[in-house]
Structures are given as structure tokens and as C-alpha cells.
Amino acid sequence: MKKKRIGCLPVLMIFSLIVIIAIGFIYYKDGKTYSDLETEVTYQKKEKKKSKGDDGYRVNWKKLKNKDVVGWIRFKHPKIISYPIMQKDDNDFYLHKDIKKEYSFAGSIFMDYHNHKNFLDSNTLIYGHNMANESMFGSLKKYNEKSYWKKNKYFYIYTRDGKRRKYKIYNACIVRPGSEIYTYRFASNENMDKYIKYYKSIGEYSTGLTPSVKDKLVTLSTCALQGSRRFVVQGYLVETITLD
């Protein structure tokens, strides 16, 4: 029996090695698709004359052939979050497809199909996988620490109409799938006010920030480490500038 067990070990080791290599290749392929895309379609404006608050980051929309791209999301820190935002007429299409509409384990960052492309709904919902290598929305989990939020309070969304929208993060919390946090329109201002206050009350920590019912929210959602739950980061619009 001992000899048989020893004989099985090399087979198990080879199998494990193949699995590790396969997973590594999948991560490499998915990562390369989007790193190449960012290099191709984004650039830094070199002219010194820029609007106040404009850091010069630009998206060349003409190079984005896929019309399903409704925006580009970017965190200055961590830099790894810099992706096109996709939208289809259902929430499954880009779950495991890249911008080329080819199979991708990591999928794409995508907007809920209920939302309008103009980001002017009361609450715009954006989803992405929690990848182990921190690609897609894998680094959002860092926002479970208040110390991290203090240094990284903003994210940006660029849109095809030449605008850059700046959002300030006011909440991070863990919820169940199908939670009311995924409400995208509210029946009344009172309902929206209750929504904001409730989900702040179950937040990982207090940010001291509370958006008003007039603010436009964006809810970023990914898988949490706790079973089937979701980790959510929420921001509200604080600035819109037109890029030249």
C-alpha cells in the first residue's frame, strides 16, 4: 500500500502543476487583453493648459470599436483599476466575456442593464469580479480598511460625451446578493434618504460623509470573501468637467 501511495504522488504533483500553469495562463491572457487595451486607447495630455482639476488623462473613444463601451472607470490609486465599462441588455453577457466578446474567466467591468448610459440615474450599478491577482474589482476589498479609504477617497468615470465625473467614496459594506442596495431608481426622495442612511449604518466603518437625495450615486459591486456575499463600495458625484 505504501508503494502505491508513493507512486501516486508524482501524478498528483504533475496534475497540480498543470492546474497552476493553466490558471496562471488564464490570468496572464486576461490581464494582457486589458493592459494592451489601456496602452492603445488611453493617453496623457501633454499640453500645460488644462482645466482646473484636470490631470490630463484621456480616453481615445474612436479606438474603442465595441459600441457596448459606455464609459471608462479609473482609480488613481490603486492604478490597477482602469477599465472600460460595458453594458448589454442583460447582466450575464459580460460576466465571462472581454471587450472583444471572447470568453474570459475574469470577464469585464459592466453596468447594470437597467441603468441609463448617461450615469444620471439616482444609483448607477457597476459590477466586476474579485480576482485573486487584484485585476478587475479585485482590489476593491482594500476598502474594508478605513486607513486605506482615507488615502484613496475618489474614483473617476470618463464618458463618450467628453466628460469626466469625479466620485467621492462615502460607504463600503458587505451585503447579500439581491439586496436592496442594488436599487437603481427610487420611488421618492424619502425612500432614497432611508436607503442612504441604512446602508451607511451597516458600513464597515464611518466615513462621516452622507450624500443628499439630489446626489448621483455609483455603487461598485464585487464578490466578498464571506461565502456568496458581495462587497460594495459606494460613491457620490462631486464634480463633472468637460475635457477638451
Give me the active site residues, please. Answer: 129, 223
Give the distance, in angstroms, between the CA of residue 5 and the centroid of all CA atoms in the same chain. Answer: 46
Q: How far is CA 70 from CA 10, 29, 60, 112, 185, in A?
A: 50, 24, 13, 11, 19
CA separation for the pair 177, 155 (Å, rounded): 24
- Give the DSSP letter of residue 41: H
CA distance 71 to 3: 60
**Enclosing H/E stretch for 124:** strand 123-127
